[in-house]
Structure 1
Amino acid sequence: MADIRNDQQEQAWNGYEGRHWATHRHRYDAVNGGFNEMLLAAVRPGDRVLDVGCGTGHLTRLAAARSGTGTALGIDLSAPMLAAARAAAAAEAVSNVDFLRADAQVHPFAPAGHDVVLSRFGVMFFGDPVAAFANLTRALRPGGRLAFVCLDDWRRGDLGAALAPLAALPDPPGDGAPSGGAPAGDDVPARGDAPTGGPLSLADPVVTRRVLTDAGLVDVDCARHEVAGTWGRDAADAGAFLAGWGPVRHRLAPLGPAVADRVRGELVAAMRPYTGPDGVRLRTAAWLVTARRPG
């Protein structure tokens, strides 16, 4: 960790945010796991896979299995999440996987050392996206493939309705949201604007195509998907989990206890329309982005 450019992200993901994800890794995987197969489609037998922003390593371990005789390396800033990733890999006896705590924007990867780069919601927080993706491009072999999912405007999926109780709250004090990105009504870059390094920094495909092209990638494609994930057993369980999610907790923290309790109750009520026999299921709107290194 000699060189960290995304220092605010490093602090956040090694604080409450990272601990919450590590503690509740199975729950976050249930929320986001529906995107796994569309990413794993990029992995071929024998591939050397790099998983960026790997978190607790769910996708990394699946990619290692898909690659067979290949390998998978997960990179992340979060020590708590990587500890959970290593423990899960050991428990599952996944032997062709490794994890690295480093900043993917500046880490000196072996040139052309990977066949495919994947990421499940891990590439939206780069301080300098063009520099970061250029670094990942160098890590790919010529002809190597990139595939990641990033958030679309959160209001376009079910999450927008579930988070409606937060819309009337004042913006939190200080210099912005934690790494998870507090949902806010206008937290979407204007079309063509430069990315902001937040959770919706790549929500505009015009921006994404420009960033990846400037980073040296070609054949950039952005396909929109809405995928359902499970947030809890019932409305009370899902609402409590949502209230503990870093961005929501950040919005509730400056409120008085009475107001915060009222909003938590409203979050539970907002989950009820999405409750069924399989629990609380919300659709997440995201972009599947694919590209390749020339050659």
Structure 2
Amino acid sequence: MTVRIDPSNADQLTAWDGPNGEFWTARADRFDQGVARYQPKLLAAAAVDPADNVLDIGCGSGTTTRDLARAASCGTALGVDLSSQMLRLARERAAAEQLTNVTFEQRDAQIHPFPEGHFDVVVSRNGAMFFGDPAAAFKNIARAIRSGGRLVLLTWQALADNEWLSTFRAVLAAGRDLPMPPPTAPSPFSLSDPDRVRSLLAPAGFENIQLQALREPMYFGKDTEDAYDYVHDHFCGLVKDLEAEVRESALEQLRANLAEHQTAEGVVYDSAAWLIEARLAG
């Protein structure tokens, strides 16, 4: 299937329907474990009623979509993503759980013609930060929400507030100055500025925009070697161009840092996210 996308999302399709999708499909359970402490708060904010129709943006392997489908027991849940690999896994897991009110589609939520005014709640867990044109995306999403319907997003706070990523970058930089993720380009931190979030949602028709700061430990593995395998595979691009001796030194520093974060619950680092809630003007 050829998915219709906005040109501003071409690079995202290449990544998420390619190597990024392959990586996160293979690591789906580890990602779910990593952000598990946020899931109850996200679902509580979504407050899905049994008859609701729910949309999950950037659904990945579908964990949140399936949770939403169970809550919307007499309604429906639709998960959309650019990754065909992750959607395949999402469908397999929904079938294994015998969920009949959930579907998954490979769509660009920025431009897809969702049924107008169809959804009661739209949710995204770490998926709404990657739109090439977020203003257009939120306007399109708003068109699909009924009057008075709700939007609930989980996004990362600033890089400096997230110990896990700021630490991994510092260790693997090996003395280099790594470029910061652009604050307005598609990245995990494109919705980290509350003022920018409001400036995107309000023109799309959302009101009562609230951002709640959350801090939770993020899980990376049961022990140092388990965490190292995961983090190394995730961030190996940061060291691929280093000379062999420098690269090995950086990786040993990474292993040592992971060991310092070993707890009774596994290897954990601090993380910080925004729980964003808004309502479509009625």
- Aligned length, in residue pairs: 276
Identity of aligned residues (%): 38
Query: Alignment partner of 2:129: what SS?
Result: coil
Alpha-carbon distance in structure 2 between the residues aligned to 1:16 and 1:155: 27
Q: Residue 278 of structure 1 aligns to which amino acid in structure 2?
A: E
Query: Alignment partner of 2:78: what SS?
Result: strand
Deviation at 1:229, TM superposition (A): 2.5
Query: Alignment partner of 2:202: what SS?
Result: helix
- 8 Å CA contact 1:167–1:185 kept in 2: the answer is no
- 8 Å CA contact 1:188–1:203 kept in 2: the answer is no
Moved more, 248-257 or 198-207: 248-257
Deviation at 1:258, TM superposition (A): 3.4
* Counterpart selection for 2:264 from 259, 277, 284: 277
Seen in structure 2, the aligned counterparts of structure 1 residues 163 and 239 have a Cα distance that, compared at 3 Å, is: farther
- 8 Å CA contact 1:53–1:121 kept in 2: the answer is yes
Q: Residue 70 of structure 1 aligns to which amino acid in structure 2?
A: G
* Counterpart selection for 1:186 from 166, 180, 189: 180
- Residue 25 of structure 1 corresponds to 28
Moved more, 156-165 or 118-127: 156-165
Seen in structure 2, the aligned counterparts of structure 1 residues 272 and 49 have a Cα distance that, compared at 3 Å, is: same
Instruction: State TM-score, norm by structure 2.
Output: 0.93
- Residue 203 of structure 2 corresponds to 214
Q: Show the 5 A alignment for 1:1-295.
A: 1-5=3-7, 6-41=9-44, 42=46, 43-159=48-164, 160-168=166-174, 170=176, 184=178, 186-187=180-181, 189=183, 195-245=184-234, 248-295=235-282
Deviations 1:177-212 (A, max 9, x none): xxxxxxx563363xxxxx222221111101111111
Alpha-carbon distance in structure 2 between the residues aligned to 1:166 and 1:8: 25
Seen in structure 2, the aligned counterparts of structure 1 residues 83 and 64 have a Cα distance that, compared at 3 Å, is: same
Alpha-carbon distance in structure 2 between the residues aligned to 1:188 and 1:15: 22
Q: Residue 196 of structure 2 aligns to which amino acid in structure 1?
A: V
Instruction: State TM-score, norm by structure 1.
Output: 0.89
Deviation at 1:283, TM superposition (A): 2.3
- Residue 180 of structure 1 corresponds to none
Alpha-carbon distance in structure 2 between the residues aligned to 1:24 and 1:271: 18
Alpha-carbon distance in structure 2 between the residues aligned to 1:14 and 1:227: 29
Q: Residue 286 of structure 1 aligns to which amino acid in structure 2?
A: A
- 8 Å CA contact 1:240–1:268 kept in 2: the answer is no
Deviations 1:107-134 (A, max 9, x none): 0000011100000000001111110000
Seen in structure 2, the aligned counterparts of structure 1 residues 66 and 219 have a Cα distance that, compared at 3 Å, is: same
Aligned-residue RMSD, C-alpha = 1.6
Q: Which runs of 5+ in 1 are unaligned?
A: 172-183, 190-194
Deviations 1:9-57 (A, max 9, x none): 0000122211010011100100122221222121222111100000010
Alpha-carbon distance in structure 2 between the residues aligned to 1:257 and 1:67: 53
Q: Residue 64 of structure 2 aligns to which amino acid in structure 1?
A: L
Deviation at 1:95, TM superposition (A): 1.5
Deviation at 1:158, TM superposition (A): 2.6
Deviations 1:251-273 (A, max 9, x none): 12222343333222221211122
- 8 Å CA contact 2:155–2:273 kept in 1: the answer is yes
Deviations 1:146-168 (A, max 9, x none): 00111111321331234430244
Q: Residue 219 of structure 1 aligns to which amino acid in structure 2?
A: N
Alpha-carbon distance in structure 1 between the residues aligned to 2:86 and 2:244: 30
- Residue 174 of structure 1 corresponds to none
